[in-house]
């Protein structure tokens, strides 16, 4: 093992030091421990002694006996404090920070120094912490990732490593078979912020923090990955602090060859690893999904995860809208502002809403319109459409070439508009008022992230529809109190963000050792999410469940996806999960979810 120069406690004894090597301490792993995964489906969550040490200090929670054993007497303040007291301290510290970015930096350093305390903190207050660890703050953090960098937290695989990726993967400090989930990005389209190059590493880390907090994946069983194929962001290329490769992005051929090597290396080393593709630019997102989905257990979060969550929120919103208008549930017309990876993914998922009600594929497709920067996407508008836009391109528009969204609304008469444009203000007053005039309960989902890119705010949507809107955004917005609400009732904005499902999808794949993440599993995740809304939540006007229940939701999504994986024969757990009834499966999944406790080692 490397030297002990990075020890938190330099004087600690060898036994402690062994687990505090550079790699172990930076990456939350123990090179000795093999407790993460053995056969057939062990709990990775046993908080044994080694685990506690490798997941870092319990600090003042160590008993005096333990301090003696580890050579820590005198290196920790005399007080013995449990997790709750430590939580109080870090919550206060967090609240004392002035900006969201400072809070992000503080939380990241807590994740690196006391992993359990970090997760205990965010799980104890999802509402406050989620926007700091994830959207929207993670967007700013990625933009400045090279500036705020302290220490490595994931794998960086760059073009410089071509031909050596397999040996690079060997450097990841966990035993073979252990990691369960990787999130991989090339940084080329981070949220709605464009090409951030290597700085996209922050999105892999953020998503995996949610995998742990929201789906109970063991922190050590996660691998955040950035593949660095250069960047076309000149600002970074000129910035001396930028930590990525200083070159323009590689050609598509080079790209494919390199990604093939990366996927092969990861899969060979970790055959059960579920690989989530995140924030690849549209063309590459589709390209790699098509290339790998029948070969590896992988999925694309922006195409499939977002599609699933919107299908779920739309289904719940359509039920409310149909009740209010007295029109049939299927009587929906959807106009999407945007035609990138998320938009097409959402469109394709939404088709299953119509197909489940008896529509053919063609009929379902005809209830969906796309609109991009050049106007309504049609086959006769005179430009060459990229392949992914062709599917939803209209042929039935006659002479109509709506150039503005307002024109398109007049033409399409939608019941629902979805914002996937990354352009703030796309849903302006004219657009929103038109939707309110057309519909009893207009469905308006401004989905672009982070908050600054949202097509409209919750307040605007409420104001311009007199509170009639059925709303979900990609990023969080504050609730509107009864006193300020045009309806006299408290209004709660939905957050149609893929975090509702990606954790459950990934968890299902990891637990049943799925050989593939099938499109049907993704659709199942949407149905499970829609079904998870309780009567109380419906009565509160929600179309998505309260995020505080994310663990329960991830469990239920995982259970449904595992059952489908068994039916589709893509699970590879030797019939282990197929042998369980529903309740057994639910309890087993629940038991597999890691909890950030100090457990028996607590003082």
Ligand X SMILES: O=C([O-])CC(=O)C(=O)O
Q: Which residues bind ligand X (CB under 6 A)?
A: 135, 191, 279, 301-302, 449, 474, 497-498
Asked if 302 is part of the footprint of Mg ion (rule: CB under 5 A), the reply reads yes
Q: Is 183 helix (H, G, I), strand (E, B) or coil?
A: strand
Query: What mask of x and - would describe binding to Mg ion in positions 381 to 410, judged by CB under 5 A?
Result: ------------------------------
Cβ-Cβ contacts under 8 Å for 160 (sequence gap 6 or more):
245
Options 104, 119, 134, 211, the catalytic residue? 134
Strands 375-376 and 298-300 turn out to be unpaired
Give the whole-angstrom CA distance, residue 473 versus residue 450. Answer: 10
Q: Least distance (Å) from ligand X to the CB of residue 271?
A: 26
Q: Which residue has the tokens 């307002």?
A: 406
Is 134 annotated as catalytic? yes
Q: Residue 212, class by beta-carbon neighbours within 10 Å (0-12 exposed, 13-18 middle, 19+ buried)?
A: buried
* CA-based nearest residue to 274, from 561, 526, 530: 561
Q: Which of 58, 103, 207, 389 is catalytic?
A: 207
- Among 377, 391, 367, 246, which residue's Cα sits nearest to residue 318? 367
Question: Is the torsion defined by CA of 572, 574, 578, 584 positive or negative?
Answer: negative
Is residue 195 part of the contact set for Mg ion (CB under 5 A)?
A: no
* Cα-Cα-Cα-Cα dihedral sign, residues 558, 562, 565, 570: positive
Residue nearest to ligand X (CB): 135
Q: Binding-site residue total for Mg ion (CB under 5 A)? A: 3
186 scored as a contact of Mg ion (CB under 5 A) = no
- Using the minimum distance from each CB to ligand X, give the nearer residue, 141 or 265: 141
- Asked if 22 contacts 566 with a C-beta cutoff of 8 angstroms, the reply is no
Q: In what order do the strands lie in the sheet with 155-158?
A: 155-158, 222-228, 181-185, 274-277, 298-300
How near is the Cβ of 280 to Mg ion at its closest, in Å?
Answer: 9
Site string for Mg ion, 236-275 (x = CB under 5 A): ----------------------------------------
Look at residue 497 and give the partner it binds from Mg ion, ligand X, none, a contact being a CB closer than 5 to 8 Å depending on partner kind: ligand X
Closest listed residue to residue 316, CA positions, set 576, 133, 542:
542
HEC states along 360-408?
Answer: CHHHHHCCEEEEECCEECECCCCCCCCHHHHCCCECCCCCCCCCCHHHH
515 binds, among Mg ion, ligand X, none (CB under 5 to 8 A by kind): none
Identify what 153 binds: Mg ion, ligand X, none; CB under 5 to 8 Å per kind: none
Shortest Å, Cβ 299 to Mg ion = 12
Q: Binds 518, which of Mg ion, ligand X, none (CB < 5 to 8 A, cut-off by type)? A: none
Give the residue, chosen from 51, 153, 279, 372, that forms a contact with Mg ion under the rule CB under 5 A.
279
Query: Residue 45: which of Mg ion, ligand X, none does it interact with, CB under 5 to 8 A by kind?
Result: none
**Which of Mg ion, ligand X, none is residue 426 near (CB under 5 to 8 Å by kind)?**
none
Catalytic residue ranges: 134, 207
Interaction site with Mg ion (CB under 5 A)? 278-279, 302
């Amino acid at each position: 093992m490397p030297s002990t120069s990075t020890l938190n406690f330099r004087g600690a004894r060898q036994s402690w030091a062994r687990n505090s090597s550079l790699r172990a301490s930076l990456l939350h792993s123990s090179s000795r421990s093999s407790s993460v995964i053995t056969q057939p489906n062990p709990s990775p969550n046993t908080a044994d002694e080694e685990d506690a040490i490798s997941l870092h200090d319990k600090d003042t929670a160590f008993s005096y006996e333990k301090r003696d054993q580890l050579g820590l007497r005198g290196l920790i303040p005399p007080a013995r404090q449990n997790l709750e007291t430590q939580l109080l301290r870090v919550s206060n510290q967090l609240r004392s920070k002035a900006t969201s970015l400072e809070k992000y930096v503080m939380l990241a350093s807590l994740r690196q120094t006391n992993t359990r305390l970090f997760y205990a903190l965010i799980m104890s207050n999802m509402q406050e912490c989620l926007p700091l660890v994830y959207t929207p703050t993670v967007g700013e953090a990625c933009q400045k990732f090279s500036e705020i960098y302290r220490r490595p937290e994931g794998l960086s695989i760059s073009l410089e490593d071509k031909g050596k990726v397999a040996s690079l993967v060997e450097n990841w400090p966990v035993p073979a078979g252990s990691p369960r989930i990787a999130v991989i990005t090339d940084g080329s389209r981070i949220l709605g912020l464009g090409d951030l190059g290597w700085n996209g590493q922050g999105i892999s880390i953020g998503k995996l923090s949610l995998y742990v907090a929201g789906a109970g994946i063991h922190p050590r069983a996660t691998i955040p990955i950035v593949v660095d194929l250069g960047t076309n962001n000149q600002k970074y290329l000129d910035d001396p602090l930028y930590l990525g490769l200083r070159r323009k992005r590689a050609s598509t051929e080079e790209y494919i060859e390199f990604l093939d090597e990366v996927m092969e290396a990861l899969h060979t080393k970790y055959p059960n690893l579920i690989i989530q593709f995140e924030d690849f630019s549209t063309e590459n997102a589709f390209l790699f999904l098509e290339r790998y989905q029948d070969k590896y257990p992988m999925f694309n979060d922006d195409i499939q995860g977002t599609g699933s969550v919107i299908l779920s929120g739309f289904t719940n919103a359509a039920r409310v809208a149909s009740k209010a208008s007295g029109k049939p549930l299927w009587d929906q017309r959807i106009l999407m502002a945007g035609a990138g990876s998320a938009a097409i993914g959402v469109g394709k998922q939404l088709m299953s809403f119509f197909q489940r009600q008896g529509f053919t594929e063609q009929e379902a497709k005809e209830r969906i319109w796309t609109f991009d920067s050049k106007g309504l996407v049609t086959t006769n508008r005179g430009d060459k459409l990229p392949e992914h836009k062709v599917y939803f391109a209209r042929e039935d528009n006659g002479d109509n070439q709506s150039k503005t969204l307002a024109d398109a609304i007049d033409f399409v008469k939608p019941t629902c508009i979805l914002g996937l444009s990354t352009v703030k203000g796309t849903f302006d007053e004219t657009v929103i008022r038109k939707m309110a005039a057309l519909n009893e309960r207009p469905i308006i989902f401004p989905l672009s992230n982070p908050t600054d890119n949202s097509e409209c705010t919750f307040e605007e949507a409420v104001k311009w529809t007199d509170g009639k809107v059925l709303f979900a955004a990609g990023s969080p917005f504050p609730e509107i109190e009864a006193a300020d609400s045009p309806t006299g009732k408290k209004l709660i904005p939905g957050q149609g963000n893929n975090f509702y499902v990606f954790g459950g999808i990934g968890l299902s794949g990891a637990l049943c050792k799925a050989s593939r993440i099938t499109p049907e599993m993704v659709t199942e995740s949407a149905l499970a999410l829609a079904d998870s809304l309780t009567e109380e939540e419906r009565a509160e006007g929600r179309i998505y469940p309260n995020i505080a229940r994310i663990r329960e939701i991830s469990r239920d999504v995982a259970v449904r996806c595992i059952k489908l994986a068994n039916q589709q024969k893509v699970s590879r757990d030797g019939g282990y999960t197929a042998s369980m009834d529903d309740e057994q499966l639910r309890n087993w999944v629940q038991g597999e979810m890691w909890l950030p406790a100090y457990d028996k080692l607590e003082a």
